Amino acid sequence: MLRLGIDVGGTNTDAVLIDGDRVLGAVKASTTADVTGGIVTAIGDLRQATGFDPAAVHAVMIGTTHFINALVEGERLAQTAAIRFGLPATRALPPLVDWPDRLVTAIGGHSHLCHGGHEYDGSPIADFDEAEFRAVLDRAVTAGATSFALSSVFSPVNAEFENRAAEIIAEQLPGAPVSLSHEIGRMGLLGRENATVVNAALRGLADQVATGLLRTVAEAGINAPVFLSQNDGTLMDVDYARRYPVATFASGPTNSMRGAAFLSRLPSCAVVDIGGTTSDVGILQQGFPREASTDVNVAGVQTNFRMPDVLSIGIGGGSHVVHQASGTAVGPASVGYRLAQEALVFGGTRLTATDIAVAGGRAEVGDASLVAHLDKSVVDAALRVVDDRLAEVVDRMRASAEPVPVVAVGGGSILVPEDLAGASRVVRPDHFAVANAIGAAIAQVGGEVDRVYSVVPQQRDTVLDEARQEAVDRAVAAGARPGSVEIVDIEEVPLAYLPGNATRIRVKAVGELSLGGSRA
């Protein structure tokens, strides 16, 4: 089965062609502002390099940082109305309360409260007030809102208010994008609501990007389904991505780690991904990134997504190296993407970590004679700084006292020493520079349930089975081949300080992509 994996990063667009577990080819092109230009170039380069037949491609998987970048930059965001059902509760902390002013302005600052929502046991806090909601909707539309984020207290228990409001919007404003919090986030109103508002603000952009991607792929002569990578390393159909762009946010680090696991054939390891400016270290457990236990702040907005647990330090291939009497410093300042002009080995004038790696014999990059004059004590001191800091961050991340295998990927991975403290060994797989695109290409399809159930002790197994089945069904609905779906994670947490049996159950299922039809 031929898969085309594409990673659209801030600087480079990488493309890889994979057949089963063989990498047939890999290329790098420059990312363009419209996303699609870089993809066109990358696919063209890949055809030149491998001579593949576009018609033979079974699936195209794309990882992109485009949506998270749009939020960080506060640009290309839709005018979004955040409407919450919760009154008379939740008044003191209205929607957007903890957002940075800049972003509130960027999405138009439409924050509204309506009566309703539910208690933990599913009984309503207040009745649905249709007249009130219609009035709020009118005000929002008059003020210019074009995308709608609906949240409701305890909607993971009962989504009635969000669904009813969505029906009214569909009837009043046919085709208007509506994002519902119970479909997007987990328990915890503010985090779930924030994720929903972010999603709503990205809907217009998602529509454009999805259309552009489909067109680009079709124009390249590829007649295969197109998928986008999600935060957890699974795939979503490109049409699903039009409705849930927020689910792509953490796909970058996830793809890089999963790609590293695939290339090194190590399902459990530490992954060190070194770029031009930073090193990101994450942990893979059974092929999936370990998730952060605390909530994640994205562009100043607190969300309750599950994100990979990644620790970053300011050391990369382009890091400035400064040697003074007081000691040697590497980073955090970096020449970044200007490495190929500014580093000594490329004829530049700035001493960088890459120069040190070349002078220390760790890599053959550029012209080694240009760093031959460097004082050995300076080179050794700088390499020691790099080694100590990498070892420290690997040590802080690893899950057990035993040394772990370390997989080094990314363009700056030449900095990683052969012998790293805390590492049982250092693995440098082939194609390490395109691990992200490979991670996208190998992704599976997932389904998740995260909800509060009332669990009567004798019926615990029944409830768990129900949740398992729903997760499997969701994976299949998202495009997994029914026979291949496995439950990869189950979590059962009783709600604290509540009598009775309210239990939050989270089940995650993952399966192989079903490609149906004659080419499967």
Q: Which of 78, 104, 187, 274 binds another protein (CB under 8 A)?
A: 187
Residue nearer to another protein on the CB measure, 76 or 290: 290
Mind giving me the DSSP string for 410-423?
A: STTGGGS-SS-TTE
Q: Is 311 in the site for another protein (CB under 8 A)?
A: yes
Q: Which of 24, 214, 340, 495 binds another protein (CB under 8 A)?
A: 495
| x/- letters, 376..415, toward another protein (CB under 8 A) | --------------------xx-xxx--------------
Residue nearer to another protein on the CB measure, 91 or 139: 91
Residue nearer to another protein on the CB measure, 390 or 397: 397
Q: How many CB atoms lie within 10 A of CB 262?
A: 21
Q: Is 486 in the site for another protein (CB under 8 A)?
A: no
Q: Which of 23, 96, 153, 445 binds another protein (CB under 8 A)?
A: 153
Residue nearer to another protein on the CB measure, 154 or 240: 154
Q: Is 301 in the site for another protein (CB under 8 A)?
A: no
Stretch that binds another protein, among 71-79, 117-125, 228-236, 336-344 (CB under 8 A): 117-125
Number of residues that bind another protein (CB under 8 A): 43
Q: Is 496 in the site for another protein (CB under 8 A)?
A: yes
Helix (H, G, I), strand (E, B) or coil at 3: strand
CA atoms within a 13 Å half-sphere pointing along the CA-CB vector of 371? 27
Residue nearer to another protein on the CB measure, 402 or 418: 402
Q: Which residues contact 105 (CB under 8 A, 6 or more apart)?
A: none
Residue nearer to another protein on the CB measure, 16 or 296: 296
Q: Is 93 in the site for another protein (CB under 8 A)?
A: yes
Q: Which of 27, 29, 159, 190 binds another protein (CB under 8 A)?
A: 190
Q: Which two tokens stand for residue 381?
A: 């001191």
| x/- letters, 20..59, toward another protein (CB under 8 A) | ----------------------------------------
Q: Which two tokens stand for residue 502?
A: 């309210």
Give the integer Cα–Cα distance in Å for 443 and 425.
26
Q: Which of 110, 504, 506, 508 binds another protein (CB under 8 A)?
A: 504
Q: Is 86 in the site for another protein (CB under 8 A)?
A: yes
Residue nearer to another protein on the CB measure, 117 or 252: 117
| x/- letters, 323..342, toward another protein (CB under 8 A) | --------------------
Q: Which of 95, 169, 94 is nearest to 130 (CA)?
A: 169
Q: Which two tokens stand for residue 236?
A: 């979503």
Stretch that binds another protein, among 161-169, 186-194, 318-326, 425-433 (CB under 8 A): 186-194
Residue type, position 257, single letter = M
Q: How many CB atoms lie within 10 A of CB 475?
A: 27
Q: Which of 129, 207, 492, 512 binds another protein (CB under 8 A)?
A: 492
Residue nearer to another protein on the CB measure, 52 or 128: 128
Residue nearer to another protein on the CB measure, 397 or 475: 397
Residue 49 near residue 228 (C-beta atoms within 8 A)? no
Residue nearer to another protein on the CB measure, 282 or 348: 282
Give the integer Cα–Cα distance in Å for 256 and 433.
10
Q: Which of 250, 137, 147 is nearest to 197 (CA)?
A: 147
Q: Which of 142, 294, 326, 518 binds another protein (CB under 8 A)?
A: 294
H runs (alpha helix) in 28-159: 36-50, 66-73, 101-106, 130-142
Instruction: Give me the sign of the Cα torsion angle 245, 309, 510, 224.
Output: positive
- With tokens 């696991």, the residue in question is 261
Q: Which of 33, 92, 131, 325 binds another protein (CB under 8 A)?
A: 92
Q: Which of 224, 203, 160, 240 is nearest to 70 (CA)?
A: 203
Residue nearer to another protein on the CB measure, 373 or 497: 497
Residue 316 near residue 278 (C-beta atoms within 8 A)? yes
Residue type, position 4, single letter = L
Beta bridge partners of 115: 87
Give the integer Cα–Cα distance in Å for 475 and 457.
28
Residue 96 near residue 104 (C-beta atoms within 8 A)? yes
Residues that bind another protein (CB under 8 A): 86, 88-93, 97-98, 117, 119-121, 125-126, 153-154, 187-190, 285, 290, 293-294, 309, 311, 396-397, 399-401, 452, 492-499, 502, 504
